[in-house]
Amino acid sequence: MIKRRETKVIKIGSQKIGGNNPILVQSMCNTDTHDAAATVKQINALQKAGCEIIRVAVLNMAAAKKLGQIKKQIQIPLVADIHFDYQLALEAIQQGVDKIRINPGNIGSEDKIKMVVEAAKKKKVPIRIGVNSGSVEKRILAKYKNKATALALTESALYHVKLLEKFDFKDIVISIKASDVNRTIAAYQLLSKKVRYPLHLGVTEAGTKWIGTIKSAIGIGSLLNQGIGDTIRVSLTDDPIEEVRVGWEILKDLRLRKRGRVLISCPTCGRTQINLIPLAQAVEKATEHITKPITIAVMGCIVNGPGEAREADIGVAGGKGVGVIFKKGKTLRTVKEKDLLKELLAEINKL
């Protein structure tokens, strides 16, 4: 079992992160925030897919002024992503967002930082400091031969933390992302030893669905396995729904959360006598909508299949032109190959 690092609990609207609270799955809209209807539609679809906190980009005042309208039409906490402009941060807080992501060091004078902090305190809105390879301050970079190393990323994050703590603000979440997996892991490891604030994990600009999934699974998965991380966002160049799906798979595979199906399927080999690959893919697709935790196995042979998938709630093991449906490793019945998908799904539905 994974022993999680002890962190401060931070409340984000209806959700809590840090401490022993579940590790939450986040995503970010790619709609124009100014288009409230499209943004609400995407947020609701993401929530259905399992998104638990949503972030939107706030580029200008017109977009900031739509945040209240968006917030009223959604059920998950809303985070405003702001760069540089303290007035956008003040407006977002005023509009009732549940968290803002802004780096205090980029706001400008201390007066402006103070104004944002005071407004956030008053409305109990936490602030996420989001450091990434591209945002490290020039003077810090200079110390590290102009490279955003893990140490440079950590130093930058601690600099922003100090600016908030200076005004006695401690409702902080931190992310420290690089697009390089090893650097991301090293940076979070370093930071986790320095602060007790909850950490938002991610490998930034991880890439397209296939490449980005692998990078994120290694980066986020390694850290979670070490007990580091309180909320995750998988960054993919794809529909954000895919980010949510990947996020859940990472958490499920590490047994940190339960939601929907866990699919076990064998790689096929010379013993396989049914067309297993399309069957496994069809089962994966047909069970995508299930939210109840269930383990399904799709195995190539009766010799090893049910035994190897003993922990599965329900499964199928291929024979010659047939498949044996089994439950918790015990045989239920033998079905012709052409009927396998239908019969297996019928058994799954019974569960």
Shortest reach from residue 291's CB to ligand SF4, in Å: 28
Question: Segment contacting ligand SF4 (CB under 6 A): 98-106, 173-181, 244-252, 304-312?
Answer: 304-312
Task: List the one residue from 271, 310, 328, 336 that touches ligand SF4 (CB under 6 A).
Answer: 271
Which of 13, 77, 305, 315 is the binder for ligand SF4 (CB under 6 A)? Answer: 305
The verdict on 321 binding ligand SF4 (CB under 6 A) reads no
CA–chain centroid gap for 24, Å, is 7
Q: Which is nearer to ligand SF4, 211 or 269 (CB)?
A: 269
Decide: is 269 part of the binding site for ligand SF4 (CB under 6 A): yes
Sequence-distant (≥ 6) Cβ neighbours of residue 146 within 8 angstroms: none
Q: Output the smallest distance, CB 225 to ligand SF4, in A.
A: 26
Which C-beta is closer to ligand SF4: that of 240 or that of 300?
300
Nearest to 173 by CA among 258, 102, 256: 102
Closer to ligand SF4 by CB, 264 or 332: give it: 264
- Count of residues binding ligand SF4 (CB under 6 A)? 12
Q: Does residue 299 bind ligand SF4 (CB under 6 A)?
A: yes
Only one of the segments 123-131, 178-186, 268-276, 324-332 lies at the binding site for ligand SF4 (rule: CB under 6 A); that segment is 268-276
Q: Does 319 bind ligand SF4 (CB under 6 A)?
A: no
Judged by CB, which is closer to ligand SF4: 207, or 319? 319
Q: How far is the CB of 138 from ligand SF4 (least distance, A)?
A: 54
Structure tokens at 304: 């090893």
State yes or no: residue 301 binds ligand SF4 (CB under 6 A). yes
Three-class HEC string of the chain: CCCCCCCCCEEECCEEECCCCCCEEEEECCCCCCCHHHHHHHHHHHHHHCCCEEEEECCCHHHHCCHHHHHHCCCCCEEEECCCCHHHHHHHHHCCCCEEECCHHHCCCHHHHHHHHHHHHHCCCCEEEEEEHHHCCHHHHHHCCCCCCHHHHHHHHHHHHHHHHCCCCCCEEEEEECCCHHHHHHHHHHHHHHCCCCEEECCCCCCEHHHHHHHHHHHHHHHHHCCCCCEEECCCECCHHHHHHHHHHHHHHCCCCCCCEEEEECCCCCCCCCCHHHHHHHHHHHCCCCCCCEEEEEECCCCCHHHHCCCCCEEEEECCCEEEEEECCEEEEEEEHHHHHHHHHHHHHHC
Which is closer to ligand SF4, CB of 94 or CB of 273? Answer: 273
Nearest approach, Cβ of residue 328 and ligand SF4 (Å): 17
Convert residues 248-267 into a mask of x (bound to ligand SF4 by CB under 6 A) and - (unbound): ------------------xx
Q: Which is nearer to ligand SF4, 199 or 309 (CB)?
A: 309
User: Among the candidate windows 16-24, 75-83, 293-301, 333-341, which touches ligand SF4 by CB under 6 A?
Assistant: 293-301
Distance CA 233, CA 226 (A): 17
Here's the x/- map for ligand SF4, 160-179, by CB under 6 A: it reads as --------------------
- Shortest-Cβ-distance residue relative to ligand SF4: 300
The contact set with ligand SF4 (CB under 6 A) reads 266-269, 271-272, 299-301, 304-305, 308
